[in-house]
Amino acid sequence: MPEQGPSCVTHQGQPSSHPRESSTGPSMPQQLGKGLPAGWVPRIRFLPAAPGAGGAPGLVPAWVPVLAEHPLVRGPRFTKLKVSAGHRLDVKASGVFVLGVGHGNKLLTDRYHCHLTKVYTVGGLFGKATEDFSDTGKLVEKATFDHITREKLERILAVIQGTNHKALLMHSNIDMKTQEAYELAVNGLIRPMGKSPPIITAIRCLQFALPQFQLEIHCVHETQQHLRKIVHEIGLELKSCAVCTQVRRIRDGVFTLDDALLRTQWNLQSIRNAISDCQLKVRAELEKTLGHQDKSVHKMAAEMAHAADS
């Protein structure tokens, strides 16, 4: 699902824009190229190896014809379809990754100004510390963890949430004694109105089985490395140490894992269906956050319909 009306959502990473061989044989451009006379310019692309071909799975070079340069082709060339990334994931993270396709790139900008909350599940392991706070980094320290209990962990989480709640109110630039503040609080729309440090709006323990634990973190303006550092700091507060074993984004605004497209679904029809299914969801999200007086919000319906058809 790179996410939205004129957007789509994937599960961890971006789809490739080049044609690929299917499991049943050559791709359509390759089939068309066989019937053309000499003169077309081939292009080398690295495509996934066909199943059952033997050897380890990977990419193999293949000739793909550039049909636009064939002398018998008339008319304007196809233009590239722009695909932009929303809130990014680093190489060690996974989960919901929103992409804007075509006119959906404009909506990515609108979503950026909404300062939407993202939700992560973060795994941790007590007893060791590394240079980059991940379980694959260089080991720098080991410590005991038998004294840690779930109650102690949850007390630390409560302190973290309380501290970040104060930061959230400070960066929201809202007078807490006004009717506006009350209405925003009721609708859950209190959030930073501009740039701010990473802020955790909610954090809780999902699983606890020493030495492993799992947290659910709601946050804005975060990076995945910041979440790993939080796990490290939790270990220090509990008079031990800890590393992060997993960072998985399970929600980005209104988009969840249920909306995401797996790598096997990165094809035209699946992406068109995802865009169509998410139109109302995205429109409601932006109207709720940006307000009905924003002209860009009023134009969204037409833009989404145009993006779905393009």
Q: Catalogue the active-site residues.
A: 90
Q: For residues 133 and 233, is the Cβ–Cβ distance under 8 A?
A: no
In angstroms, rounded to a whole number, what is the distance separating the alpha carbons of residues 201 and 188?
A: 11
Tokens at 122, concatenated: 């973060």
Collect all residues with Cβ–Cβ distance below 8 Å to 227 and sequence separation of at least 6. Answer: 120, 122, 217, 219, 244, 247
Helix axes 104-114, 268-290, angle to 10 degrees: 40
Q: Residue 119's beta-bridge partner residues? A: 218, 251
Contact 107, 303 (CB under 8 A): yes
Displacement of CA 63 from its chain's centroid (Å): 33
Beta partners for 7? 4, 100
221 neighbors 192 (Cβ within 8 angstroms): yes
Q: Measured between alpha carbons, how far is 48 from 27 in angstroms, rounded to an integer?
A: 12
Q: How far apart are CA 88 and CA 79, in angstroms?
A: 26
Distance CA 48, CA 15 (A): 13
Where helices occur in the chain by DSSP H, the ranges are 28-34, 104-114, 150-171, 179-186, 224-237, 268-290, 295-298, 300-309
CB atoms within 10 A of CB 138: 7
